[in-house]
Structures are given as structure tokens and as C-alpha cells.
Amino acid sequence: MSNLLVKSIPVVTAVVGIATGYAFFQPMIIEQLRKDGALKPQIEQEIQRYESAAINNLDANNNNNNNNEVSKEQ
């Protein structure tokens, strides 16, 4: 293996670890801030906007899947 590849493995591992840790702990931190009343209103609005967009996206995907199943049955 090349020397550059060997040196880059720890860096890639660290970046992946930080990203997955952030994604794992973020919901817990947000929930605790909500319970403590320490979540800024501006951040709360952003979270609600993101969650409503995600729900709408899931609903759209479910509707598409249901329509595909109905067309397959016919």
C-alpha cells in the first residue's frame, strides 16, 4: 500500500466517527434542550420546518408506493 493511503486511513476513520456520532447524539441533545427550555426559538423553528418537510417527503413516497401497488394489481 502506498504511504499516502496508510496515512489517510486514520483521518477518514476520524471523519466518519465524528459524522456518525453527531447524527446519533443530535436528537438526544435537541430533546434535552427542549425539556430544559434552553432551545432557542429560532432553532426550534428550523427543526419544525425540517421535520415537516421530512414528513411531507415520507407521505409523498408512501403515496407513490401505494399507487404502484394498485397499478400492479390491475
Q: Where are the domains of the chain?
A: 1-39, 40-74
The residue among 14 and 54 whose pLDDT is bigger is 14
State how far Cα 4 lies from the chain centre: 32
Rounded Cα distance between 63 and 61, Å, is: 5
The mean predicted confidence, pLDDT, of the chain is 84
3-state helix, strand, coil in the chain (%, to 5): 90, 0, 10
Spell out the residues 6+ positions from residue 34 whose beta carbon is closer than 8 angstroms to its own: 44
Decide if pLDDT at 64 tops 80.
Answer: no
